[in-house]
């Protein structure tokens, strides 16, 4: 996902990482995460 994020706006990679980490912590609590890693990537296009 890093490459996808950097491809859109590399200046906001740290912000995106912080937001994702905070959401994961809120959902699962603090501490290490054990298990399989999966990702769902959704792209939205605005037609003008």
Per domain, the residue ranges of the chain are 1-48
Task: For residues 12 and 24, give the distance between their C-alpha atoms in angstroms, rounded to a whole number.
Answer: 18
CA 16, distance to chain mean position in Å, is 6
Give 24-31 contacts, CB < 8 A, sequence gap 24+. Answer: none
Is 13:6 a contact under the CB 8 Å cutoff? yes
pLDDT attached to residue 11: 81
| Structure letter (DSSP) for residue 17 | H
pLDDT attached to residue 22: 95
pLDDT attached to residue 21: 92
pLDDT 10s digits, 1-48: 677 777 777 788 888 889 989 999 999 899 987 888 888 888 889 887
């Amino acid at each position: 996902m890093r490459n996808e994020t950097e491809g859109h706006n590399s200046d906001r990679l740290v912000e995106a990482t912080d937001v994702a980490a905070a959401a994961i912590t809120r959902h699962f609590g603090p501490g290490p995460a054990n298990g399989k890693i999966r990702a769902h990537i959704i792209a939205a296009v605005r037609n003008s």
